[in-house]
Structure 1
Amino acid sequence: MSPHRAIAAVFAVHGAVAGSLATRIPWIQDHLGLGAATLGLALLCPSIGAFVAMPMASRLSYRLGGATTTRILLALWCVVLALPALAPAPAALFAVFLLYGTAAGMCDVVMNAHGVVLERHLRRPIISGLHGMWCLGSLAGGGLGVLAAHTETDARVHLGTMALLLLVVGVIAGRGLYRERSDGAEPAPRRFALPPKAVLAIGVVGFCGTFVEGASANWTAVYLTEVAAAGPGMAAAGYTIFMLCMAGARLAGDRLVHRFGPVAVVRVGGALAAVGGVMVVVARTPLLCVAGFALIGLGVAAIVPLVFAAAGHAGPTPGEGVAGVATITYLSGLTAPAVTGWVAGGISYPAAFALITAVAVLMVLLSAVMRPRVRPTPAAELTPTGV
């Protein structure tokens, strides 16, 4: 397996773990008898675990090597997938979700940093395509989860089986990853890597992109139901179309970046998302709303991958740059659904998406900070870790 295919498979496995668990949350809620408030608190735990742990990922990667760290954290996350369905009580579920988020967030950092290293080596953009593979993995994992839920398969059996299967695939993919051997010129990252100054402006673009993406993904079905009077099937289809548009745009994103550059891609993507947001705000029919969400998905798809790539190139080290900007984007992921809900409840759903549209416009205004600022790369040799 080539290094590019190996890291693409790692992203797909990462996405499949997330997609698999997302479909079985209702089973876990019913199994433990959780109320809405308790479930909401439980679902906050993965983001908290990731937010706290991600700043330490670059240091761990420096000590063990990017490839080794990626393999370990991906394996840990695959194993943890089996645990939420086994939790005997809410307190245990909280602890499992904290561990789940810790492994997910740290793996997210190191695999993106590894992608940046490989991108430098190949001298062509690959990060957007890797995130496209994450979307495809998430859709595949979610699809199997929907099938398992439809056939009333016990989530303990389903998630345990998926954990084992994805662990095997992850181990095989990990053998093809590359190990960077530096001459020692690369500085050791800090033990707790808060965002460096060099990536703060990039992080703001990432915050906006994640805000638009997270708010839209979480509220698409609800908006279609409450505002456009869509039925359950159309509401579910709206979310699926949104995700498919994101996956397709990310898979095509590397070619667009290679041809037009990251500034133009972010600028046009932000404008496209803003147009989609306006359509959602003014629409009162399901089809027009779905079209608006599709444009939002197409427009915002490449933003986060480009932010990770830009931060990896601009930071003191790839791992530290990615860790810093990932902390900012995860903070956005924490706040976006809640802020959207507060505005929707306090004013209206269209007002909430007017705010999301304004955030998309802000991405357009800030797009110039994505101009490439590649640091001189120290002498390094990339060698495969597999046999």
Structure 2
Amino acid sequence: MTVQDPTTSAPPAARTGRWPATAVFFLNGLTLSTYIVRLPALKDEHHLADGQVGAIGALFAVAALASMQFVGPIAARFGSRAVLRVSLVVMPLLLAAVGLAGGFVGFALLVAALGAVHGATDAAMNAHAVTVGRLAGRPVLNGCHAAWSVSAVAASLAATLSAHSGVGSTTHLGVAAAVLLVGGLLVGPVLLPAAADRRTRPSRRDGRTGLPGAWTGRVVALGLTGTVLMICEGAALGWGAIFLHDGRGVALGLATAAVTAYTAGQTGGRLIGDRLTARHGAAPVFRAGGLVAACGLAAAVFVPSPPVAVAGFAVAGFGGSVLVPLVFSAVARQDDTGHDPATLVSRLTTFTYAGVLLGPALIGSAAEVVGLAGTLAALVPLLLTVALIGPIHRD
């Protein structure tokens, strides 16, 4: 892949690229989180049954996964900046339109469109952040993912304030969309120029940018690692509170603190993850993070004391925070595949997103057979295996 030097013509704000890239993660996370926290109210306003909400969620997921297959080659041809400048404008408009939708069909189609653009943004922003880190000569992905975590907290607080103030979903989504649109218009021009990650000649292996490319054994191994990590994360966030409340008899207020603790630990870990990686290297930080995450999850599952269990979830979030960003960095370094980083990252995003979608269902199905405690306990050796012998150590 031939890449032009983006620093020769880039304005000073675009030369570093770190804060614009971080802002994209925040804007994308804020868009999705705003929709999610308003979904219960939208369900009531549209008089949707549980099955209809489930179908809409499936449409969102399928649309996101489908768009991820195409955005990598598109970003390789035109640059991730071009993709992001479009998606950061279209996403807020779709978010506002979701609030205005009338009827089940219209609502479902708009949510599917939002899912497709969100999926494209997710893949393109990770590819862009990888390029920023490569050009800067230092890791940046942990900080970017931390911004995504912070956006979820901001969306939750905004939804709480809106609910207490009696603000309807249409107004809330419209105001949020306006803020997001302004943010996207401001961030887009200061992203790295298209030449930073745009392919200027065909891939040396297959001479094309088509859909079948980049599914190498190495990429699949890293992708499966990402899937496992997202399943473990989903287990903590989606089932941690249920485990403490139903399995341990912990009061609901304290049980829900497990989710807050995990998220807080995850955000804290990502805020320092880039510095740790720059100082100690990716493989040692990945190994240490996986071991810490496994120990925290073990404490949460096996120690009967509720405060210790909540603390265990915080430790698990802290240790696990660096793992997925490091996998993204590792897949983008696979230069020997002959494929551009944007395509490689889009393939990995497919795996991680699949983990997010499949995780809750897999955990629930396994819990029906062996119990929730046994299912969560089985994730501990899985995390240890990934930490000690995962493919990231072969870089």
Alignment deviations for residues 273-321 of structure 1 (CA, whole Å, 9 cap, x no partner): 2112212222344312211211221121111111111112215111011
1:252 maps to amino acid? I
Change in Cα spacing, 1:359 to 1:81, as seen in structure 2 (3 Å) is farther
The answer to whether the 8 Å contact 1:308/1:325 transfers is: yes
- Please, what TM-score do these two structures have when normalized by structure 2? 0.88
TM-score by length of 1: 0.90
Matching of residue 364 in structure 1 with residue 387 in structure 2 = yes
Where does residue 377 of structure 1 map in the other structure?
A: none
Question: How far is the alpha carbon of 1:194 from its aligned partner?
Answer: 5.8
Secondary structure at the counterpart of residue 390 of structure 2: helix
Q: Does 2:350 align with 1:336?
A: no
Q: Distance in 2 between matches of 1:327 and 1:341?
A: 22
5 Å matches for 1:210-249?
Answer: 210-249=230-269
Hey, what does 1:276 align to over in structure 2? Answer: 296
- Encode CA deviations 1:299-356: one digit per residue, 9 max, x unaligned: 2111111111111221511101101111111111121100111122333220121132
1:347 paired residue number: 370
What runs of 5+ residues in structure 1 fail to find an aligned partner? Answer: 373-387
1:81 is aligned with what amino acid? Answer: L
Quote the Cα distance in structure 2 between the aligned partners of 1:184 and 1:344.
Answer: 50
* Partner of residue 205, structure 1: 225
Distance 1:162 1:292, change over 3 A: same
Superposed CA deviations along residues 51-108 of structure 1, whole A, max 9, x for unmatched, are 1110100122133322111111122222222233333333333322221211111111
Q: Would you say the 8 A contact 1:202–1:370 is kept in 2? A: no
- 1:24 and 2:63 correspond: no
Q: Quote the residue 1:297 is aligned against.
A: 317
Quote the Cα distance in structure 1 between the aligned partners of 2:47 and 2:391.
50
Amino acid paired to 2:348: V
Residue among 185, 196, 200 paired with 1:184: 200
Q: Report if the CA contact (8 A) 1:196-1:324 is conserved.
A: no
Sort the Cα spacing of 1:212 and 1:22 in 2 relative to 1 into closer, same or farther, 3 A.
same
Equivalence for 2:125: 111
Partner Cα distance (2:304, 2:47) in 1: 36
| Counterpart residue identity of residue 272, structure 1 | V
Cα distance in 1, alignment partners of residues 255 and 180 from structure 2: 30
Provide the aligned C-alpha RMSD in A.
Answer: 2.0
Equivalent of residue 161 in structure 2, options 138, 147, 171: 147
- 8 Å Cα contact 2:327/2:392 also seen in 1: no
Give the partner amino acid of 2:352: T
Instruction: Give the whole-Å Cα distance in 1 for the aligned partners of 2:154 and 2:393.
Output: 32
In the alignment, is the contact (CA less than 8 A) between 1:77 and 1:103 conserved in 2? Answer: yes
How far apart are residue 186 of structure 1 and its match? Answer: 5.9
Change (3 A) 1:327 1:368: closer
Counterpart residue identity of residue 130, structure 2: V
* Identity value in percent: 28
Q: In 1, distance between residues paired with 2:241 and 2:275?
A: 31
| Aligned-pair CA distance for 1:243 | 1.0
Structure 1 partner of 2:49: 35
Please name the residue that 1:161 is paired with.
175
Q: Determine the structure 1 residue equivalent to 2:110.
A: 96
Q: How much does 1:183 deviate?
A: 7.9
Question: How far apart are the structure 1 equivalents of 2:151 and 2:59?
Answer: 23
Larger displacement relative to structure 2 (146-155 or 167-176): 146-155
Contact 2:330 2:392 in 1 (8 A): no
Kept in 1: contact 2:214–2:344 (CA 8 A): no
Please name the residue that 2:4 is paired with.
Answer: none
Residue 244 of structure 1 aligns with an amino acid whose one-letter code is: A
**C-alpha distance in 2, partners of 1:24/1:180?**
35
Corresponding residue SS for 1:175? helix
Letter of the structure 2 residue corresponding to residue 228 of structure 1: R
The 1:34–1:285 alpha-carbon spacing in structure 2 relative to 1, beyond 3 Å, is farther
Counterpart CA distance in 2 for 1:43 and 1:194 is: 28
- State the distance in 2 between where 1:107 and 1:288 align: 38
Report what 1:384 is aligned to.
Answer: none
- Describe how 1:310-329 pairs up with structure 2 within 5 A: 310-314=330-334, 316-329=339-352
CA distance in 2: counterparts of 1:87 and 1:323, whole angstroms = 30
* One-letter amino acid of the structure 2 residue matched with residue 223 of structure 1: F
CA pair 163-257 structure 1, distance change in 2 beyond 3 A: same
TM alignment of 1:247-258, pairs within 5 A: 247-258=267-278
Q: Counterparts of 1:89 and 1:359 in 2: how far apart (Å)?
A: 44
CA distance in 2, matches of 1:366, 1:126: 24
Quick check: 1:50–1:101 contact (8 Å CA) kept in 2? yes
Find the aligned partners of 1:235 and 1:89 in 2 and give their Cα distance: 37
Q: State the Cα deviation string for residues 2-54 of structure 1 (Å, max 9, x = none).
A: 52111111111111112212211110122223333332232222221111110
User: Residue 29 of structure 1: SS of its match in structure 2?
Assistant: helix
SS in structure 2 of the partner of residue 153 of structure 1: coil
Q: Which runs of 4+ in 1 moved over 4 A?
A: none
* Change in 2 beyond 3 A, CA 1:92/1:135: same
Q: Please give the secondary structure, in 1, of the residue aligned with 2:333.
A: helix
What is the number of equivalent residue pairs in this alignment? 372
**Contact preservation (8 Å) 1:16, 1:142:** no
Cα 1:37/1:280, change in 2 over 3 Å: farther
> 1:122/1:186 Cα in 2 relative to 1: closer, same or farther (>3 Å)?
farther
Paired position in structure 1 for 2:138:
124
Q: Secondary structure at the match of 2:56?
A: helix
Does the 8 Å CA contact 2:199/2:340 hold for their aligned counterparts? no
Contact 1:195 1:327 (8 Å CA) reproduced? no
Range moving further from structure 2, 240-249 or 28-37: 28-37
